[in-house]
Structure 1
């Protein structure tokens, strides 16, 4: 009897890239699953705010694990690792981890004498996207490996310098607080001006003069921003506030590339409402979001507030800012006035534009256990528990029919209405102690078409069992990992069991892809 060569071959379940290889234990001794090196590195990379301690791992331990995996795979699988690092800095929106990863990639390949695959120079250049990052890369390399900077690192940084160094960027990022100023970078990597940017030669010289001879540094006359900035700096201190708040003040600040941070020091006085209203038109979207409380405290007027609200909630501005959705939650939680609630809700919705409207019935389980309350980074007051709630709620409100559940030691449904504010729904979540994922799935699964679990995947030994085993084998279970710990709570990669990771929403697109019967690749693969 023919088993394979027939008109109705057996259906093949689609596969996803994060793959488990066998059983292990979680950090608390519970049943877990080991992932292969690529899967472990991917999940760690998309959740790794460098030097940030989590509930189960020290910051140093996570950094060493990340660097070790990059070094190993840079030699064993150079093309894949280079693709991860470039994507991580771009769509993955993980700035520091990508810079550290690129440096470790190059160090490992130089030590091993590896030459196949993407060049070291290309990988360094690919992760440098902002004008302060060439200095960041040098600072990391020197602090980690000493002042002998290899040629591929220098050349990759030089390529980035030619792309990124402009007069406006010099004013924004070449500050005294940096260990490596623009002039230091130029001295170390010796870039030549880009052939399509003849003005860069004068700009490079000015950056060197600012660093080494600041009293006599003259901006190139061809750069209108730098010359306007110099003229503004020359205004006597007693005349500055009137100049800014008077007619044409906003235009002067914009023409001179004056940031709000620099403006505060230049004025030598408080940032009152009139000053804020002058600089608001030239502020970036996320600078506006971060300063909503300051606007309220200064008493910014309704007209300026309307301009701020329109910009921070504009879908194109949100897309251009490339910020994680939880940034808007943090702003909502700390803004003093309710006048920002609706524009922040709209901005959050735009930032979650990739969340699909899932058909059928969906069970969404949100981990609210103690280990999820670690802050996302040392500079953030937001935690993984609230980030998990954002994603889960966004899926629920857009799905055809969904049961939204929070779990820890216990579990309970979270009420919501179609079209309701995601930010309002988040107020109904609590802190639920331990991590009994298995019992939560067992209790709440009632013939749903799929299960989504947003979690750090860490359960203790007394919470027995694989949570995915509580769901029939023909029903897909998607785990959304927000911490990047080594062990997972269930199998992944095939057989309707899949794990994604990170704090952006792009991987949600894999759910309809897998359910249409197609394999899901790594995000940077086409």
Structure 2
């Protein structure tokens, strides 16, 4: 299936900065909105606006595309909440074949996603009576029943939480058919609340937290021993380790155990299997930078090594391909991606930009706001580079004058192959001259006819500053380094939508 990039009717629209913009098809707008959302308020949209827009776009899109987008968002972009939204909202308007159930089986990757999906189903359908999940969609029921056979006792016990919908509730509701006798015994344990308590860092620390200690020194010693025991157990997941590096340092564990943590963090197989979004490494790095412990630098080095490992699979460009990387540091990019996160869109753009810079041989990089400034960094220290950019953002101001990246190339008559902007694509000209992003690109194409422009949309607001239907302009959206897989799949006859549509149901 092939989708046009733009609506057939080119409406005269403006972006959130009141600058001229171009609209996208429903499929392209949904793609950009989905892969750039944490379902929290963005700079330009209120709390429910993004969710409402996604629901509206689902109604306008091909159901098969919506299903494939949900699978892409979960399995390749490593998003958890929004794929469940796509399932439930699509199920409201689509029935008749096995599309929904197939979609569910491919999206559900953790045991708690079974109950999370049902909780959203209950909320989305405004079920307020006693039997809130009565009359469950048959296709949702079928998909969840199949998904029950994907998990073992440890996985069920780990996520057997006291939420609005419990695993026991889900089991009774969807009636999964056990694949063998052992699975039936497991289902009986879920029903009888007799799942064995799993050995996890959460359960172990929770139990220790309930112990009364004689004094603070005794408590410190107990937590040191517990963290060392947890590290030796090799049962702390990669994300849990990233999030607990500060706690591990504060627990004053031995240098041997810090070395063990560092080795695991920078282990190539562990890094690739962890499927961490790039900004997770940055968040951990910044948390550690502020600490004054004797082993802090060892962990900082391990995080740099981990990011280098994660970048290995990114297909960069050789010495014969000239690349410009421009990171948007405007005011609208300085918005936290969620209320509980210290990470901003600004950080994500810098992180992705530095990852790509690391993989290119012939590259110039910099940042733009009121001005465009080239700030070339060494390739080795990706996280340190991001931090350096972060400290210097005020040097270019806070507008979104992306056109200046192109005007600089024109003025220097510099011919490059690829221009990449990491941005919320809310371009405008704060000097209010006739120059616009689209005009600058059209002028640049006259001196560099083979150049290609890539807009990495980090916000998904639904408009673009240039017609992406022609002149070698592409829109790619998302916060994961997997966006570079899309980049390398693009040519004159492809789009990000074609990449998603390759997914089999």
Q: Fold conserved (TM > 0.5)?
A: yes
1:206 has 2:189 as partner: yes
Separation in structure 2 between the aligned mates of residue 299 and residue 485 of structure 1, nearest angstrom: 45
Q: Any unmatched runs of 5+ in structure 1?
A: 1-15, 211-216, 220-225, 230-256
- Displacement of 1:451 after TM fit? 0.7
Q: TM-score, normalised by structure 2?
A: 0.85
CA 1:262 to 1:18, structure 2 compared with 1: closer, same or farther past 3 Å?
A: farther
Q: Deviations over 1:104-139 (max 9, x none)?
A: 0111114xxxx36x5222223322110001100110
Spell out the pairing of 1:60-75 with structure 2 (5 A cutoff): 60-73=48-61
Q: Which residue of 2 aligns with 1:348?
A: 307
What SS does the aligned partner of 1:171 have? Answer: helix
Task: Tell me which of 179, 191, 197 is aligned to 2:164.
Answer: 179
Q: Deviations over 1:381-440 (max 9, x none)?
A: 1111111111112222321221111011222111312x3301121122214311111123
Cα distance in 2 for residues equivalent to 1:44 and 1:354: 26
Q: Residues 370 and 17 from structure 1, CA distance in 2 versus in 1: closer, same or farther, beyond 3 angstroms?
A: farther
- Distance between the aligned counterparts of 2:172 and 2:426, measured in 1? 48
Gap change, CA 1:377 and 1:18, over 3 Å in 2: farther
Match of 1:456 in 2: 424
Bigger Rg, which one: 1
Paired position in structure 2 for 1:155: 142
Task: Give the root-mean-square deviation of aligned CA atoms.
Answer: 2.1
Aligned length, in residue pairs: 454
Counterpart position of 2:107:
127
Deviation at 1:497, TM superposition (A): 0.8
Alpha-carbon distance between aligned partners in 1 of 2:4 and 2:228, rounded to the nearest angstrom: 48
Q: CA deviation at 1:36?
A: 0.7
Query: In 2, Cα distance between the equivalents of 1:461 and 1:425?
Result: 28
1:317 to 270, 273, 277: 270
Q: CA deviation at 1:295?
A: 0.6
57, 82, 90: which one pairs with 1:105?
Answer: 90
Partner of 2:328: 367
Which residue of structure 2 lines up, in the alignment, with residue 89 of structure 1?
74
Counterpart check, 1:402 vs 2:355: no
Instruction: Tell me whether 1:433 sits opposite 2:398 in the alignment.
Output: yes
CA distance in structure 2 between the partners assigned to 1:510 and 1:78 by the alignment: 22
Q: Deviations over 1:494-526 (max 9, x none)?
A: 4311111101122323444446x6635323517
Cα gap change, 1:357 to 1:459, in 2 (>3 Å):
closer
Match of 1:384 among 345, 348, 366: 345
Residue 332 of structure 1, CA deviation: 0.4
For 2:70 and 2:486, how far apart are their aligned partners in 1? 20
Is the Cα contact below 8 Å between 1:125 and 1:156 reproduced in 2?
yes
**Does residue 491 of structure 1 match 2:491?**
no
Cα pair 1:18 1:499 within 8 Å, conserved = no
5+ residue gaps in structure 2? 212-218
Deviation larger for 295-304 or 359-368: 359-368
Task: Report the more deviating stretch, 370-379 or 301-310.
Answer: 370-379
- 1:29 aligned residue: 18
Counterpart position of 1:442: 407
On the 8 A contact 1:18/1:500 being kept in 2, the answer is no
For the pair 1:472 / 2:445, whether they are aligned, the reply is yes
Quick one: which of 200, 203, 224 aligns to 1:273?
Answer: 224
Question: CA offsets per residue over residues 46-65 of structure 1, 9 Å max, x none?
Answer: 11112x11111112111101
